[in-house]
Amino acid sequence: MQPQVKHIIEAALLAAGEPLPIERLRRLFPHDRQPEVAAVCDALAELAKDFEGRGIELKEVASGYRIQVRAQLAPWVAQLWVTKPGRYSRALLETLAIIAYRQPITRGEIEEIRGVALSSSIMRALQERGWIRVAGHRELPGRPALFGTTRAFLDYFNLKSLNEMPALTEIRFWSDYDAELDPCLAAAEGSNTAQAAG
Amino acid sequence: MQPQVKHIIEAALLAAGEPLPIERLRRLFPHDRQPEVAAVCDALAELAKDFEGRGIELKEVASGYRIQVRAQLAPWVAQLWVTKPGRYSRALLETLAIIAYRQPITRGEIEEIRGVALSSSIMRALQERGWIRVAGHRELPGRPALFGTTRAFLDYFNLKSLNEMPALTEIRFWSDYDAELDPCLAAAEGSNTAQAAG
Amino acid sequence: MAGEVGVAKEIREEQAHARSTAAVAKIKGEPLASLPHDLYIPPDALEVILESFEGPLDLLLYLIRRQNLDILDIPIAEITRQYMRYVELMKDLCLDLAAEYLAMAAVLAHIKSRMLLPQPTQEAPDETDPRIELARRLQEYEQFKEAAGALDELPRLARDIFPGRVPAPVRRIERSEPVVSLRELIMALADVMARAEHFAQYAVQREALSVRQRMVDILSRVGCECFCALADLVPAGEGRLGVTVTFLAVLELFRERLIELRQTEAFAPIYVRAAAAVRNSATPGNEQGMNNP
C-alpha cells in the first residue's frame, strides 16, 4: 500500500536532521508522481494539526520545515544532556546583532558602532558557526568585505526571516528632547518636529 | 498545564538521537514525580499504537527504545541522500572529444594531442559510463588498444551518427565568439546552443 | 593591592559625590532631588566590572544609566570627570586599556571646552553641537547592546530548541552521473586545438568523420564474424557516397593493419576479417565497453 504523502514527509523531516524546503520534499517522490507544491503545503498543514496537543511541533525556519520539541517540553527534554550549552560573550552577541540588523556591513562599520576594535577571533567564530558570511565587498580602497547573516543563523535562532527579529529600540533625536523640554514650543512646532524625527 | 508522560517521552525519544532505556526516560522527571516503570511502559505502548499506520515506529533495541522510520518508507526517505551529479573534469571532456573525432585512436595518440599523460581513471570513467569502448588493437609493440565511441555516446548526445557532430572549422569559430561574450551569458545559453548544434 | 583599595575608595567617594551633585540632573525636564541608590561596588569586584565594559561607549552608558541621566542632556563636565576616574583606575589596575578609551576622553574634553565658551542661549543647539553626535553614538550603541541581549534571549538550538532526529533504514545510496552537453564537449575540443598548435597535422574534416565512424563500424563487425564480404559492409541505401566512404574506411583500416583482406582469385568477392591480433582481443558487439585490463 502506498503510504500517505504526509507520512512520507513526516518520516523525511525526522530522518533528515536539518530543515527541509518544500522543493526538497517534492523531490522525495518519483518525477512522474511528484505532488504539487499546494499538496505538500496541505500535507504540512495536516501534520501540524496532528501534532497539536502533543510534545512536538512543525516549525518553519529560514531553510525549510523541521519537527521539533515544543517549547513547553524543553525543560524535560533538556534533562537528557548533563552539560549545558555554553554562553556567548557580550562582544560576540553585540557583533552578531549589529551584523543582523545592519547587514551588509563592513568590519570598520561594526567597530564604529561598538566604539572598539573588533577581535578577529569573534569574526572567525561567527563564520565557523556558519552564522555570517562575506556577502560582497564595498567599493572603497582595500575593498573591505561586507558581512551578512546566513540561513543557518536564522535556523539556529528559530526564525523564519530577519523580520522576525525583535524590533530595535528607537533612537530619539535632539528635537524630540526639545519638545519634551518646552511644551509650548512643542505645540507650536509640532508638525515640523515630528517630521524631523520620523 | 502539565504535559502528558507519553508526550514528554515522545519528545525525548525524538530529540535524543540515540536509544533511551526506561530508566533514563524516568529520570527526565523530577525525583518526587518520577513515573513508575509500569507507567513508562504503558506510555511506550500507547506511543507505539499512535504510530500505527504512520511513517515512523517505536522500536526496542539493545540499549533501549528509539523512534525510527519504517522500512517501507525507505525508498522515499532515501531520496534525501541521493547525491547531486558532479561535473566531469576538463581533461575527461577533452579526452572524450578527441576520441569522438579521431577514432579509432590509441591512448598514446590522445596523449600526443593533449600534450599530457592521460590518467587511467579518465579512461575507466568513460568506459564505465558506456561512452567509449575498445574497438581493436593497433599492430604495434605492446598492441595498444584502439578506442572508439559507442552507440550509447551518440544516444546521450542525441546524435544519429558522428556526422552530426559539428565540423572542427565551426568549433574554432565558436571559441572565438565565446571569448567575446560575457562568460555568464555564454553559460546561460549553453544548452540552447548545444541543441542548435546537435 | 593597597593602591587598588585606595582607588576603589576614591571611586566610591566619587560615586557619592556624583549622587550629591546629581540634583542638577533632569528626567524629562524634571529636576531630580535624589537619585536611586547606586550599587555598592565591593573593591574585589571592581576589576571584574571594569573588565566587563565593552568599550568607551559602554562605560559612558554605564555612567549615564546609573544616574538615570537622559542621554540627550548629559552634564558633560561631571560625566567627563567620572569617565576620567574610571580610565585612570583601569590604568592603575594595569588593565589592557584600549586606545579607544583615550580617544573618547579627548572627545569629552573637547565637548567640555566648547560648553565653557559663551553660547547664544536662545537658539536651539545647531548641527555642529558635538553633543548631538555623542548622543547619537551612545543611543546607537545602546540599541545594539539591547539587541544583543534580546538575541541572547531568543530560543536557540541545543538550549531551547530540540529538533527531532530519527534513524532511517539504510539503503544503497544511488549515484547519479554528471550531465554533459554537447557544447561542453565541443568547447573542450576547441581548447585542445587552441593549445596544440601542431594540431593541423590531425586536422579532420566533416567528410572524414563518416570515414572514421565507418572504420569503427567495420572493425566491430569483422571482429565478430570470421569473414565478411566487402560488399556486405556497404549499408543498403547509402548510394555512391556510402560505397566511397566504406571503401575509404577499408583502405584506411588495411593501411593501419587492423584488417586483413582476402580474395581467392581475380574478380572474386573480396572478404574482410580482423587482423589476427584484433580478432583475438576485441570484444565484438559489446557496446557498453569492456572492463579495463
The predicted-structure confidence for A106-163, as pLDDT tens digits, reads as follows 999 999 999 999 999 999 999 999 999 999 999 999 999 999 999 999 999 999 999 9
Residue type for C68, please?
N
Average pLDDT along chain C: 72
- pLDDT band of C13, cuts 50, 70, 90: low
Tell me, letter by letter, the H, E, C secondary structure of B63-126. CEEEEEECHHHHHHHHHHHCCCCCCCCHHHHHHHHHHHHHCCEEHHHHHHHHCCCCCHHHHHHH
Whether residue B3 and residue A76 make contact (CB cut-off 8 A), yes or no, is yes
The DSSP secondary-structure symbol of A140 reads: S
| Chain C contact set for A82 (CB, 8 A) | none
Considering only CB atoms, B83 lies closest to which of C176, C194, C219, namely C176
pTM of the model: 0.62
Residue B188 has pLDDT above 70, yes or no: no
End-to-end CA distance of chain A: 62
Rounded Cα–Cα distance for residues B25 and B161 (Å): 68
The predicted-structure confidence for C33-65, as pLDDT tens digits, reads as follows 443 345 455 555 666 666 778 889 999 999 999
Residue B33 · residue B39 · CB < 8 Å:
no
Whether residue B14 and residue A14 make contact (CB cut-off 8 A), yes or no, is yes
By C-alpha distance, which of A109, B11, A38 is closest to C137? A109
Residue C261's pLDDT is what?
A: 83
Considering only CB atoms, C72 lies closest to which of A17, A93, A172, namely A172
Residue C197's pLDDT is what?
A: 55
Whether residue B168 and residue C203 make contact (CB cut-off 8 A), yes or no, is yes
Residue bearing the bigger pLDDT, C218 or C32: C218
Whether residue B80 and residue A12 make contact (CB cut-off 8 A), yes or no, is yes
Whether residue C162 and residue A69 make contact (CB cut-off 8 A), yes or no, is yes
Highest mean pLDDT among B61-65, B181-185, C50-54: B61-65
The predicted-structure confidence for C162-219, as pLDDT tens digits, reads as follows 999 888 876 655 566 778 888 888 888 888 877 765 544 544 444 555 777 788 888 8
| Chain C contact set for B61 (CB, 8 A) | none
Whether residue C73 and residue A90 make contact (CB cut-off 8 A), yes or no, is no
Average pLDDT along chain B: 82
Residue A63 · residue A151 · CB < 8 Å:
yes
Least confident piece of the model among B42-46, C129-133, C200-204, C254-258: C200-204
Residue C283 has pLDDT above 90, yes or no: no
Residue C192's pLDDT is what?
A: 80
Q: What are phi and psi of C27, to 5 degrees?
A: -110, 115
| Chain A contact set for C154 (CB, 8 A) | 157-159, 166
| Chain B contact set for A81 (CB, 8 A) | none
Residue C251's pLDDT is what?
A: 87
Residue C171's pLDDT is what?
A: 61
ipTM associated with this complex: 0.66
Query: What is the DSSP pairing of strand B132-137 with strand B56-61?
Result: unpaired
- pLDDT band of B163, cuts 50, 70, 90: confident
Sign of the dihedral defined by the CA atoms of residues A37, A39, A44, A49, in that order: positive
Residue C287 · residue B152 · CB < 8 Å:
yes
Rounded Cα–Cα distance for residues B69 and B79 (Å): 14
| Chain B contact set for C203 (CB, 8 A) | 168
CA distance C155 to chain A (A): 6
- pLDDT mean over B167-173: 63
Write out residues in chain A with pLDDT < 50, as ranges. Answer: 179, 181-198
Residue B173's pLDDT is what?
A: 53
Least confident piece of the model among B75-79, C8-12, C151-155, C171-175: C8-12
- pLDDT band of B59, cuts 50, 70, 90: very high
Residue A21's pLDDT is what?
A: 96
Residue bearing the bigger pLDDT, C68 or B187: C68
Residue B45 has pLDDT above 80, yes or no: yes
Whether residue C158 and residue A66 make contact (CB cut-off 8 A), yes or no, is no
| Chain C contact set for B106 (CB, 8 A) | none
Chain B interface test: which of A40, A47, A80 (most B C-beta within 10 Å): A80
| Chain C contact set for A69 (CB, 8 A) | 161-164
Total beta-carbon pairs less than 8 A apart between chain B and chain C:
223
Chains in contact with B, where contact requires at least 3 CB pairs less than 8 Å apart: A, C
Residue C22 · residue C32 · CB < 8 Å:
yes
Residue C257's pLDDT is what?
A: 81
Residue C23 has pLDDT above 60, yes or no: no
Whether residue C163 and residue A68 make contact (CB cut-off 8 A), yes or no, is yes
Chain C interface test: which of B94, B106, B178, B185 (most C C-beta within 10 Å): B94
Considering only CB atoms, C54 lies closest to which of A14, A97, A116, namely A116
Residue C144 · residue A165 · CB < 8 Å:
no
